[in-house]
Structure 1
């Protein structure tokens, strides 16, 4: 099973793939730090990211 996440930030075309939710979240946190430094990785943001992860 592979998991996929398209960045949910409007105008961002980044996509992330990983084998586990933890891997995808880790990559998403790194992407957010690099590309969206004003984005706060709080519980609400993490929940939103999790809801956008899908199996491929």
Structure 2
């Protein structure tokens, strides 16, 4: 059983970040959680004005 996997991470806006290497399952989990937290933060910023509007109404 393989413990490591080869991953590529490419973030492109005008040929930005390129990363390739061996990743442990724990590191993959940490990357996934960080992406999820950023997405939830953006969602929270988008929904806040609607919550204030409903509270005021």
TM-score normalised to the size of structure 2?
0.31
Higher strand share: 2
Higher helix share: 2
TM-score normalised to the size of structure 1?
0.31
